[in-house]
């Protein structure tokens, strides 16, 4: 799988352009960044953009969606089945948990990971040991739980029972550039962050509460 990341948007957001080298079929994960450079890259590589995958429906993660729909009116919008109503005017496809999404020969497994937001999805490529984590997991920490539909217990389960169960050499591609690097393996994320070293839900809550108390302070 080929990946190119683009940074910008509301708050150090990432958009990812992924494509199959053999078929030249491509997809975008989170249309969160100005589309100009991404569309230029698609044209430069002679790719065919067939899908847009949305990790969750906080607006900063799909704010440039209509740019792509204008150019590709029939492009398939893949999102959590809980959020399909937001995209009924488009060619939207509801995704189910553990559904396999194909882009040419690339196979992504949709992992429902609620907590940061109720409709959060991670997209896992088992073959290449890559997972696109949206705002569920960043380099060095998890996403926050400040939205109306956030849930700290669900986030704990998504982290500890789903993402940390993936092979340790899996590389995460997060939704924002909040850490010391753009990507990181799960193994190194565990080694470098107490967010991923908790022995219980209560310990996780204490770390999250401390983080929120100090958030934004210099």
Q: Which domain holds residue 50?
A: 2-214
Report if pTM > 0.85.
yes
Secondary-structure breakdown of the chain: helix, strand, coil percentages, each rounded to the nearest 5: 30, 30, 40
Q: Summarize pLDDT for 67-97 with one digit per residue, the tens.
A: 999 999 999 999 999 999 999 899 999 999 9
Query: pLDDT tens, 93-113?
Result: 999 999 999 999 999 999 999
User: Which residue bears the tokens 């992992």?
Assistant: 111
Identify the CA nearest to 39 among candidates 15, 63, 9: 15
C-alpha neighbours within 13 Å on the C-beta side of residue 21: 4
- What is the tens place of the pLDDT at every residue in 168-202? 999 999 999 999 999 999 999 999 999 999 999 99
Contact status, residue 75 vs residue 49, Cβ threshold 8 Å = yes
**Cα–Cα nearest to 27, from 15, 36, 37:** 15
What is the CATH classification number for the domain harbouring 132? 3.60.15.10
Of 165, 164, 125, 126, residue with least CA distance to 142: 164
Q: Are strands 25-29 and 13-19 parallel, antiparallel or unpaired?
A: antiparallel
Distance in angstroms (rounded) separating the CA atoms of residues 108 and 215: 33
Q: Residue 82: how many CB atoms within 10 A of its CB?
A: 18
Encode pLDDT of 143-163 as tens digits: 999 999 999 999 999 999 999
Would you place residue 215 in the very low, low, confident or very high pLDDT band (cuts 50, 70, 90)? confident
3-state per-residue secondary structure call for 15-50: EEEEECCCCCEEEEECCCCCHHHHHHHHHHCCCEEE
- Average pLDDT over the chain, rounded to whole? 96
For the chain, where are the E strands, in sequence order?
A: 2-8, 13-19, 25-29, 48-53, 76-80, 92-95, 100-103, 106-112, 121-125, 130-134, 171-174, 184-185
DSSP state of 193: -
Structurally, the chain folds into a number of domains equal to: 1
């Amino acid at each position: 799988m080929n990946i190119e990341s683009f940074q910008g948007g509301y708050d150090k957001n990432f958009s990812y352009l992924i494509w199959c080298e053999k078929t030249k079929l491509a997809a975008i994960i989170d249309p969160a960044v100005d589309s100009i450079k991404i569309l230029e890259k698609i044209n430069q590589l002679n790719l065919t953009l067939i899908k847009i995958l949305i990790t969750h429906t906080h607006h900063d993660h799909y704010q440039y969606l209509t740019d792509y729909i204008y150019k590709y009116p029939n492009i398939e919008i893949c999102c959590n089945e809980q959020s399909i109503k937001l995209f009924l005017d488009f060619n939207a496809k509801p995704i189910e948990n553990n559904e396999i999404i194909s882009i040419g020969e690339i196979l992504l497994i949709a992992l429902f990971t609620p907590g940061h937001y109720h409709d959060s999805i991670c997209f896992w490529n088992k073959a290449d040991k890559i997972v696109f984590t949206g705002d569920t997991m960043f380099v060095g920490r998890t996403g926050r739980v400040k939205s109306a539909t956030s849930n700290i217990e669900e986030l704990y389960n998504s982290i500890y029972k789903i993402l940390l169960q993936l092979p340790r050499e899996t590389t995460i591609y997060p939704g924002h550039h909040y850490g010391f690097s753009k990507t990181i393996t799960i193994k190194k994320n565990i080694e470098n962050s107490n967010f991923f070293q908790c022995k219980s839900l209560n310990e996780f809550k204490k770390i999250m509460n401390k983080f929120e108390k100090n958030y934004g302070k210099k």
